[in-house]
Amino acid sequence: MKLNKRDTIFLLIVAGVIIFLTVGATERTTKSVPDNDTHKNVTSRAQCMACHGVEGVKPQPLGHPKANQCFQCHTQPEHWVGSSKK
């Protein structure tokens, strides 16, 4: 098969799109929950919100999603003692 210039450019664009999509899919934009003593022992949302509610030591940022399942977006700490991701 002989490739002319247009074929080559087309193949490069296709390869670029594939690379872009695979890299984008593996990259998480949400921060993981820190794997420290505070975080690995917290097992309920109420506990999370005691610190991450508006009055807490580290409030969630403005416009943060109101979703309850923290671990759906923030990866669990590696040494977490609670049940596995629901």
Size of the site for ligand HEC (CB under 6 A): 28
Distance, CA of 83 to CA of 45 (rounded, Å):
13
Q: Which of 31, 37, 54, 78 binds ligand HEC (CB under 6 A)?
A: 31
Q: Which is closer to ligand HEC, CB of 16 or CB of 85?
A: 85
Where in 38-77 is the site for ligand HEC (CB under 6 A)? 38-39, 42, 45, 47-52, 57-58, 60-61, 64-65, 67-70, 72-74
